[in-house]
Structure 1
């Protein structure tokens, strides 16, 4: 239990076994990848929809327009991924560390994230609509215009994390700790923040937007 009664996220404990190098080639739809190291692999434009990655390390890989919808990423470490338009819709991430990503327009709508840490890096226009996040930590990263609309967040923490122009419209929050977000900018869904905890300073910063959303005129 964290401060102010908010329950802390359970972080993943990933212990990778000795890994075999991935023989360069093409990802396969519904492929099964177990105990492999993908290092500096160019996966741009490849189709790995429905694939399963178990006990894998992906390091410095290019994932521009990579199709990974409904993929399952389990007990794995993803470091330095870079790319625009990666499709991970309806995918599952469980016990995963994502370190120093440089991503834009990543599609994670309808995805399930459980015991996931995203640390460092920057993600622009992250689409998490209708996703389910449980025990997820965003740490020391920059999120620009993330879309959490319709998502369910439980035990989610933002630690030393920039959250710019976030959309929480229609979202459901439980034990979500936003106190470590600086700046904390919310463009939609302030009325959905029941179940979140923010600091006094953040409340003052959000006051003009909150007043506007409630139809309150502030003068002089």
Structure 2
């Protein structure tokens, strides 16, 4: 699946994330932000455009209603950050940590999570459109009542992930792995799985396979 990648200009101005307090609006555009610690902060409705963020720590930070367009995160820690009600479009998370982060009720489009840890992340009631999870850890992730349109899970760990209330029609899980998955039978219709996964689901249904 082809998705739109972030549009990042060549000439970016260097910033620290704390510089956002000196901006007239809570906004960064065409910036390179690196090696910043911005944990345990509260900053709502931040807007980041055409920006690269590297080696930054945002653990436990409250970023409710954050607006991200054309942004790349590399080697960042957003564990337990509150990104609920976010608008995310043309964004890449590369080698990032979002352990236990809250992205409920968000729009996530043209976004790639690559080589990243999203264990126990909360995506409930979010809309996904053209999203790729590439070699991502999603153990215990909560995707309750989500809308998945053109979403790929490539070689991901989905163990104990919950898709309760989320239709998986057309979603390919065959290259990913899990020992258990929380999903209703009706929402599994049209889901693409491997032979071994089909056997797992059959055993969950109580079928005995010879």
Q: TM-score with structure 2 length normalisation?
A: 0.90
Q: In the alignment, is the contact (CA less than 8 A) between 2:16 and 2:34 conserved in 1?
A: no
Does structure 1 residue 21 correspond to structure 2 residue 1?
Answer: no
Kept in 1, the 8 Å contact 2:145–2:165? The answer is: yes
Please say if 1:88 is aligned against 2:80: no
Structure 1 consecutive aligned stretches of length 4 or more whose deviation exceeds 6 Å:
none
Matched, 1:183 2:175: no
1:5 alignment partner in structure 2:
none
Match status 1:104 vs 2:76 = no
* SS, match of residue 198 in structure 2: helix
Cα drift, residue 172 of structure 1? 2.9
For the pair 1:79 / 2:71, whether they are aligned, the reply is: no
Residue 63 of structure 2 corresponds to: 68
Match of 1:35 among 18, 24, 30: 30
**Larger proportion of strand:** 1
SS of the residue corresponding to residue 6 of structure 2 reads: coil
Q: CA RMSD in A?
A: 2.2
- SS of the residue aligned with 2:197? helix
Q: Is 1:144 matched up with 2:144?
A: no
Q: CA–CA distance in 2 between the matches of 1:193 and 1:21? A: 47
How far, CA to CA, are the matches of 1:80 and 1:219 in structure 2? 44
1:81-104 per-residue CA deviation (whole Å, 9 max, x = no partner) reads 114310000101101111011221
Structure 1 segments unaligned to the other structure (5+ residues):
1-7
Q: Does 1:12 align with 2:4?
A: yes
Contact 2:60–2:81 at 8 Å: present in 1 too? yes
Residue in 2 aligned with 1:47? 42
- CA shift in 2, pair 1:31/1:122, >3 Å: same
Whether the 8 Å contact between 1:27 and 1:47 is mirrored in structure 2 is no
